[in-house]
Structure 1
Amino acid sequence: MATDNVSLSVDPREVTGKKVRALRRSGITPVHLYGGGGESLTLQAETQALRAAVNTAGRGQPIAIEVGGGEKALTFIREIAKHPVTGELQHVDFIRVDATVPVSAEVTLSIVGEAPATRGGGGQFLRGIRTVTISVLPLEVPDEIEVSIDGLENIGDNIRVEDLILPDGVVAISSPDQVVARIAMTRTAAVEVGEGMEVEEGEEGEEGEEGEES
């Protein structure tokens, strides 16, 4: 399950419009908090702290927000605006959530193990989707979901969303037929890569390795 909640302190913001540029130059970034039956709040956060929270939680983990020593809210990031050239944060929107009501979250899929089909059968391991959308209680969002490929023994074997082994309380809401991993014949793998699959480094079959050495 998720590690300790990410937390962020914010303060009410009175600066709006073009004056916000000066606010950003001083190391403060505008944020908004809304939803969950509460009022919409115009807020601000220290840019460094906000950046750390965004980088740690992303869109898949909850962030506990405290507003100027007052309201405390469990939130998820709803929108992130960045400067088109520098990539610096320009604005972040947070939405309140109820800890007792399931939310939709996007979680990384982590491949573990080794596919037997790549060891001698001329198989090439291909990656499909790298994240899955799930429904889960806010405080139970997993950091990642492990996907074992130890059972991929033959050419054509694959793992789809419907095959994922999920933690208790987690339900996948991505399309069940989306491919997570697949074993293709080495000589035809390039065709599948063109169809949206990706070659995963370190999982090439023997034929692919010999081809690189020649």
Structure 2
Amino acid sequence: MSNVFEFVAESRADSGKSAARRSRRQGNVPAVIYGGHSGPQMLVLNHNEVIKHLEHEAVYSHVLDVTVDGRTEKAILKGVQRNPAKFQVLHLDFLRVDMSEAVKVHVPLHFTHEATSVGGKKGGVAAHSMVDVEVSCLPSALPEFIEVDLTNLDIGGSLHLSDLVLPNGVEVVALAQGEDHNLPVVSMMASKTN
């Protein structure tokens, strides 16, 4: 199997809607890589390879290798456009990263021990307010996901951004804006009985 963190692309000279449509008809995905200390570069990737990569949750929160015409650059996947009616990726945005500079990335949250939590044992149901959180860290410290342990969560209780257990060197972006941005992540609600 190919490395899930390596995207192989070719540069493309043409841009615009007609060029993008032409790429899609040929079974490819138009893309762009930008940021860092270089200008934006138009790319084209094989659609089937892109679909294989995007099946893995980790690809959305990892530093990726984007190989363009034999030259590899470090980047993160910043945006994915999908066709709402078909199983088709329309466009990808990659952001170049410098391994010595902090990046901001949305990292998925994994909720654990919901059924065995204090509130879960009483028949409570966890209401998730967030499924991911934006963090800031060096690319080498970027977590694949952040685990949210619900073990001690009782009915009527909630966990906020400040309650998340983060790896060393990782900060929640919203918390840097002040206490007003300490939003709830998950709450335990009493289940409705008929």
TM range (shorter): 0.7 to 0.9
Choose the corresponding residue for 1:183, options 168, 188, 194. 188
**Aligned position for 1:8:** 7
Whether the aligned pair in 2 keeps the contact of 1:5 and 1:64 (CA below 8 Å) is no
Amino acid at match of 2:35: G
Partner-residue secondary structure (3-state), 1:182:
strand
Contact 1:59–1:77 under 8 Å retained in 2: yes
1:139 shift after superposition: 2.9
Residue 36 of structure 1: aligned partner: 36
Q: Is the 8 A contact 1:32 1:94 kept in 2?
A: yes
Match of 1:22 in 2: 22
Stretches of structure 2 that go unaligned for 5 or more consecutive residues are 176-180
What is the deviation of 1:5? 6.7
* Offset, 1:19: 4.1
Identity of aligned residues (%): 24
Matching residue of 1:90: 90
Partner of 1:73: 73
The AA in structure 2 aligned to 1:28 is: N
Post-superposition Cα deviations, 1:8-29, rounded to whole Å, max 9, x if no partner, equal 1111213444244333222222
For structure 1, the 5+ residue unaligned runs are 188-207
Task: Give the match's secondary structure for 2:22.
Answer: helix
Q: CA offset at residue 64 of structure 1?
A: 0.8
- Count of aligned pairs: 183
TM-score, with length taken from structure 1 = 0.74
Larger radius of gyration: 1
- Structure 1 residues 124 and 41: alpha-carbon distance in aligned structure 2, compared to 1, 3 A threshold: closer
Query: Could you tell me whether the CA contact under 8 Å between 1:155 and 1:185 is conserved in 2?
Result: yes
The one-letter amino acid paired with 1:148 is D
SS in 2 for 1:52: helix
- 3-state SS of 1:30 partner: strand
**CA deviation profile, 1:119-165 (whole Å, cap 9, x unmatched):** 24x6443322121111122232212111111112x432221111111
TM-score by length of 2: 0.81
CA–CA distance in structure 1, aligned partners of residues 191 and 40 of structure 2: 55
Structure 1 residues 39 and 157: CA distance shift in structure 2, 3 A: same
Larger mean Cα displacement after TM superposition, 12-21 or 140-149: 12-21
Alignment partner of 1:155: what SS? coil
- Give how far 1:84 is off: 4.1
- Structure 1 counterpart of 2:161, which letter? V
Between the aligned partners of 2:29 and 2:173, the Cα distance in structure 1 is 33
Q: How does 1:158-173 map to 2 (within 5 A)?
A: 158-173=158-173
Q: What is the root-mean-square deviation in Å for CA atoms of aligned residues?
A: 2.4
In structure 2, the CA distance between the partners of 1:29 and 1:117, relative to structure 1 (3 Å rule), is closer
Q: Which residue of 2 aligns with 1:201?
A: none
Contact map agreement 2:81 2:91 (CA 8 A) in 1: yes
- Report deviation, 1:83: 2.9
